[in-house]
Structure formats: C-alpha cells, structure tokens
Amino acid sequence: MTNDLVEFATHSDVLVLIGTNTSECHPIIAMQMLRGIERGAKMIVIDPKKTDMAKKADIYIQTPVGYNIPFLNAMINYIIQENLYDKNFVENFSHGFEYVKEAVKEFTPKRVEDETGISQELVKQAARTYAKANAAAICYTMGMTQFIDGTSNIFSLSNLAILTGNLGKKGAGVNPLRGQNNVQGSCDMGALPNVVPNGPVTSKEVRDHIKDIWGYEISEKIGYALTVAPDKIEEEKLKLLYVFGENPVMSDPWTEHFVHAVEHLETFIVQDIFLTETAQKADVVLPAASWGEKDGTFLNTSRRVQLIRKAVDAPNNLDPDWKVVANIAKELDIKGFDYTCAEDIWNEVRKVNPKFFGGISYERIDKNDGISWPCPDLDHPGTPVLYEGNKSMLPDGKFKLVPVIYSEDKEQRVKLEQEFIEKTNMPKDYPIGSGALSEKVNELYPCLFTTGRKVYHYHTGTMTRECKPLELGSDIMGATIEVSEDIARERKLDEGCYALVENKRGKIAAKVNINRDLRHGTIFTTFHYAEADGNVLANAEEKDPLSGMNPLKMTIAKIKKISEEEFLSVRNQTDIQMHPSELYRAVRRQ
C-alpha cells in the first residue's frame, strides 16, 4: 500500500473500494474505513456483488464481472473533459498525460450506460466525488487483479491517482489490501520469480551486491511463475516442485490439470503445518511450526515490519520453516545457512536491502510497534506514506501515466497496442496496457462464473475447517453455489435445491443459495471446500501478459437443477474430498 491503513479512519475524505469485499475479507480494515465514514468521509463501491460495504456506500456501481477498463477509462475521460484533474501535479510531477488522454477518448459515461445499463449520471457522480476530494484513497484487491488484464486495471487506478494528485499525502494513495499476514513480506524477501530482496535479478548491480553478501553468483534468468508450473512440468522442464505454505491442489485453477501435472514430477516436496490435499500427493512431507510457535517478522499490508514471538512450543519440537530450509541446505553442503535464530536472518536482510530495511532493527520494531519501509538508517522514522514531496521511486522522480486501450477481441491486444504506440509516437520503452475479456458467455455456457471468499473460511479451509465453531456453527450452510435472481428464475432453481455447474474443465455440485446481491447472469462460489471447489472450473489456460495471473474471477459455465441422487453421485466422483481429520493432523504428531 502507498499509505497506512489507519489513515482511512483519520484522513481520507473519499474511499474508493473497487474489487474488494472488504468487510468479509479485511474486517479490521473495513472497521477503519467505517470510522472514516463516521468522521464524514464518502465511500464509493464498484463491484458486481452488492457487498456489505456497498450497502453502506454513498455511491454504489454494479459493474459486470470483467468490465473494468471501459469503466475506469470512462471515469478518467470525464475527469479530463470536465477539467477536474490536478494540472499542477500532472504538469510538474508526471509524464504521459497526452497518451492517456488519447487512450480514453472513446470511453464515455454514456458508453458505459449503453454497454451495461449503469446510469451515466452515477459514473459522472463517482468521477466528480473522487476528483474533488482533498485526499481520496483507492483500495482494491482480487476483483481487480485476477483477470488477463489485471495489471492494466492497476495502471488505470494509478492513472486516476496521478491525475488527481492523490499521492504523497495522508489519506490518499493506491492501496492493494494484501491478503495474507506476510504476503507483503514474502514479496519483499524475493519470493517471486523475478526478484531478490534488493531488486530484479536482471540487474547487474543487484546481482553484484548479492554476491558480496552471499558469496555466490545468482542467475540472471527470471524463473517460472506458479501459473506456468503445470505446463512446464508436462513439458519436462520442471522436475522438482517444493510447495511451501500453499495448498495448490485446491487453490490453483483447473484442478484436473494441476493434479495431472504433479503426478509427472520426479520429486514433489510439501512443507506445511497440516497434511493438506496437496501434501497427500507429495513424495516428501516436511512438517513445520506454525505462527504461534516461532519467532520472526511479518510485514503487514501497510509495509510495516512487525515482530512475532513464540507463544507456545510446537508439538514434538518441530522446527520453524527457516530451520527446515537451513537443514536441507546444510545436507546439500550449501554455505551461508548458519543462522542461530530468526533475528540473524533479519539482520542479513537489512544488509541485502539497506535502503528499505537498514534502520529496522529488532530493538526498534519492538519499541515502535513496527516500522514501515523504506527506513534506511537507525535515525529514520520509517515511511507510512510513500512519495512525499510528490516524488516517485523512478530514476527521474516523476510518475508515469500509462495509456490503457481496450480490445473487443483478446487476440488483437498486441496489435492494437502496437498501432497505438505508432499513432502517438510513444517512446518504445514507455509502458502501455490493454484490456480484454478472457471468455465471453455463449449459448452453451450462458452464465458468468466467478469465485472468491466468504467471511467464515480462509482459502482452502486447511486452517479454518478444523475449527468446529466455524465449520459447524456460523458456516453451517457449507459449500453452496450462489446464483443471481434471474438465473434462479430462468433455471427454476429454488433456495436449497441441488445444482450442477459445469464447463469444459469440470463440474461441481452443491446446494443453491439465491444471492440477490449478485449482478444478473452471475454464479459465484468459493475455493474453501474440497467437495465443491470453484477451481475445478476456473481458467488456467489464459494469463495476464505482465504478471502471469490467471483470470480466477471469470470464466463461463452452465447450471442445472439436479436430484439428491445425482448430487450424491457427482460428490462420489470427486477425487479430492474434505480431508479426514485424524490423518490430516498426523503431520504434527510425528
């Protein structure tokens, strides 16, 4: 996040929530937002589902799943047309205004109305409210990123913030609300295919610095993204997979494809705190201590480094993850893993990336209840708000407005981008984005199928489904298939009846829940339940060209009512069932 989440309560005048079901997925952040609203802040929510936050919003816009670039371009267009943008910020602190102006030219609020039925007045009102605020924060999550144009969606959100000068000040910014306690930390530590903790592996300067500290050369080659792993296994380019703190048999799209692929691995290692659906397919399972059983640091969504301290002993003195990894390195005779505790590792991180972490010592984190990066030295207070003084982190200190075009035909994206670059004489290395839909509904598969979360469970349910008050209490409904009202009416689906959802990748069966908050034509389910996992149907074939992300938020499907007998027969054919508790917990007993 560019800003600290507490600022939603204390400083934001306008909150834009786009593609985030904040109260179900980030309840603590939602609470800060609601405090802001009590203070007088306005809230705009853009989401195909009328979420709890949408019900509390001043402006709610129910866009169709995947209809993001045309919508955001229309907001930008209106802001430019009506001279609502911040001329000083655009002229003095950014590049690329003319490219963006050209890219959004044909996207008007009227076009949004014609294409979606959303009133153009509402789009204009949202644009005006955002642009006129003193400090407006954009918050987004998976409803923006999990598409083949997810990166371009984020370019568009950044464009909005740059155009209106909503950067470098309290309460403003572009804020991806991160999903896991330490996902920000994992990325900062280099758990991505293209970076190490001090920058991209393609940079010689970065590699030289690493060599000074680690004592060996690192490869300049960018590794494979998780989303290409199944294909690379089948091509025999990937022979060993070491899965660590993930349950991809359930969380990766197109389950059949993933499960088939891992069966072809030479070696499959899983390191987890439970014997998950994925661990059950592994050759080697390495148990590890969980968060309450170890020391270390977690980096939260506001870039704040926080200490965690061991509260209880792990069963059978299980090692924390870092030690499991260090033990393997020692067996392999790899030098440099002689740490005695988590703090040793953190102090190495401070040397590897001194600009960000140099001043963040354990002692200071403890005293200050966390410090946000960048914090280069021990006298630096940390940086809760990025870009103060309107300076970006790019070499010339300016922000780049990135033109985002739209292609009705996904196959034409590259060609249209090329044409745009030529038409506008953009420099060859200037970034450009484009929107397109990965799939469109058709006669065979007439419904949009989307996936996401419910408040009661966490992802693949490994940690929450073992919790009886959740599993058998608040979430007693279990796996359901949520359908919009029109789908229920047309297919004669009653609340609680059984239904089968199917597409070319697979089928799942569950009880129907008619969700009047869903935009028409939409089916929603989660990936919390092994017995009816939305990922059986999710699209793994297509990817965002820049991030490699799959369009987990949209595919197409058909749905029909089935009898209890048919339901049971589909369930019996499902290979992956909810884990048997006893076996599942065995990892931590050995």
Residues of this chain that interact with ligand MGD (CB under 6 A) are 18-21, 24-26, 46-49, 51, 63, 65-66, 68, 141-143, 146, 179-180, 244-248, 251, 253, 271-274, 276, 288, 290-291, 321, 450-453, 455, 457-460, 462-463, 527, 534-535, 538, 552-553
Binding segment for Mo ion (CB under 5 A), chosen from 174-182, 296-304, 337-345, 435-443, is: 174-182
- Of 146 and 503, CB closest to ligand MGD: 146
Give Cα separations from 36 to 55, 174, 249, 483, 488 (angstroms): 16, 17, 40, 33, 37
Residues 483/449, Cβ–Cβ less than 8 Å: no
Q: Which stretch binds Mo ion (CB under 5 A): 173-181, 279-287, 343-351, 386-394?
A: 173-181
Nearer to ligand MGD by Cβ, of 19 and 109: the residue is 19
Give whichever of 122 and 497 is closer to ligand MGD, judged by the CB atom.
122
**Closest to ligand MGD by CB, 568 or 583:** 583
Name the minimum Å distance from CB 434 to ligand MGD.
16
Distance CA 216, CA 209 (A): 10
User: Minimum Å distance from CB 28 to ligand MGD?
Assistant: 10
Taking the complex as a whole, how short is the minimal distance between the CB of residue 485 and Mo ion, in angstroms? Answer: 29
User: Distances from the Cα of 22 to the Cαs of 160, 275, 460, 522, in angstroms?
Assistant: 21, 30, 19, 20
Residue 245 interacts with Mo ion (CB under 5 A): yes or no: no
Give the span between the Cα atoms of 580 and 394, in whole angstroms: 51
Query: Residue 518 phi/psi, 5° resolution?
Result: -85, 140
Q: Are 539 and 550 in contact (CB under 8 A)?
A: yes
Q: How far is the CB of 45 from ligand MGD (least distance, A)?
A: 9
Q: Which does 48 bind (CB under 5 to 8 A by kind): Mo ion, ligand MGD, none?
A: ligand MGD
For residue 353, the partner it binds in ligand MGD, Mo ion, none, with Cβ less than 5 to 8 A by kind, is: none
| Residue 4 or 482 with smaller CB distance to ligand MGD | 482
Residue with Cβ nearer ligand MGD (97 or 147): 147
Taking the complex as a whole, the smallest distance from the CB of residue 179 to Mo ion amounts, in Å, to 3
* Min separation Cβ 178 and Mo ion, Å: 7
Q: In the complex with Mo ion, which residue's Cβ is closer, 179 or 245?
A: 179
Which amino acid is it at 437? L
**Angle, alpha carbons 169-173-174 (nearest 5°):** 165
Select 6 or 191, whichever has its Cβ closest to ligand MGD. 191
- Residue 351 CB, shortest distance to ligand MGD, in Å, is 25
* CA-based torsion, 255, 260, 261, 265: positive or negative: positive
Least distance between Mo ion and beta carbon 250 (Å)? 14
Residue pair 79/127 in contact by the 8 Å Cβ criterion: yes
d(C-alpha 12, C-alpha 24), whole Å: 21
The answer to whether 361 and 378 have CB atoms below 8 angstroms apart is yes
In terms of Cβ atoms closer than 10 Å to its own Cβ (0-12, 13-18, 19+), residue 395 is: exposed
Could you please report the per-residue DSSP string of 484-507? Answer: -HHHHHHHTPPTT-EEEEEETTEE
- The rounded distance, in Å, linking the Cα atoms of 501 and 447 is 10
Q: Is 522 helix (H, G, I), strand (E, B) or coil?
A: strand
- What, of Mo ion, ligand MGD, none, does residue 41 touch, CB below 5 to 8 Å by kind? none
In angstroms, rounded to a whole number, what is the distance separating the alpha carbons of residues 469 and 479? 16
If you compute the radius of gyration of the chain from its CA atoms, what whole number of angstroms results?
24
Complex with ligand MGD: residue 392 or 515, whichever CB lies closer: 515
460 binds, among Mo ion, ligand MGD, none (CB under 5 to 8 A by kind): ligand MGD
Nearer residue to ligand MGD within complex by CB, 12 or 145 = 145
Eight-state DSSP code of residue 517: T
- What is the size of the binding site for Mo ion (CB under 5 A)? 1
273, interface contact from Mo ion, ligand MGD, none, CB < 5-8 Å by kind: ligand MGD
Q: How far is the CB of 220 from Mo ion (least distance, A)?
A: 29
Phi-psi region of 492 (alpha: psi -120 to 50; beta: other; left: phi over 0): left
Q: Which of 58, 113, 179, 491 binds Mo ion (CB under 5 A)?
A: 179
Question: Could you say which of ligand MGD, Mo ion, none residue 3 binds, taking C-beta under 5 to 8 angstroms by partner kind?
Answer: none
179/521 with CB nearer Mo ion: 179
> What is the nearest approach in angstroms of ligand MGD to the Cβ of residue 90?
25
Minimum gap (Å) between residue 64 Cβ and ligand MGD? 7
Partner interacting with residue 25 (select from ligand MGD, Mo ion, none; CB below 5-8 Å by kind) = ligand MGD
Q: Which does 370 bind (CB under 5 to 8 A by kind): Mo ion, ligand MGD, none?
A: none
Residue 465, contacted partner among Mo ion, ligand MGD, none, CB below 5-8 A by kind: none
Q: Residue 475 CB, nearest distance to ligand MGD (Å)?
A: 10
CB atoms within 10 A of CB 354: 16
Cross-strand partners of 498: 511, 562
> 175 vs 450, which CB is nearer to ligand MGD?
450
Residues ≥6 apart with Cβ < 8 Å to 473: none
CA distance 268 to 260: 13
Name the one residue in this structure whose structure tokens are 């017995």. Answer: 531
DSSP lists the bridge partners of residue 404 as 433
**Is residue 59 left, alpha or beta, with left meaning phi > 0 and alpha meaning psi from -120 to 50?**
beta
- Residue 47 near which of Mo ion, ligand MGD, none (CB within 5-8 Å, type-dependent): ligand MGD
Closer CB to Mo ion, 63 or 141, in the complex? 141
Question: Cα separation of 363 and 359, whole Å?
Answer: 10
Name the binder of 521 from Mo ion, ligand MGD, none, CB < 5-8 A by kind.
none
Residue type present at position 560: K
- Quote the CA–CA distance of 224 and 193 in Å, as a whole number: 6
Least distance to ligand MGD from the beta carbon of 138, Å? 11
Q: Spell out the residues 6+ positions from residue 231 whose beta carbon is closer than 8 angstroms to its own.
A: 261
Binding site for Mo ion (CB under 5 A): 179
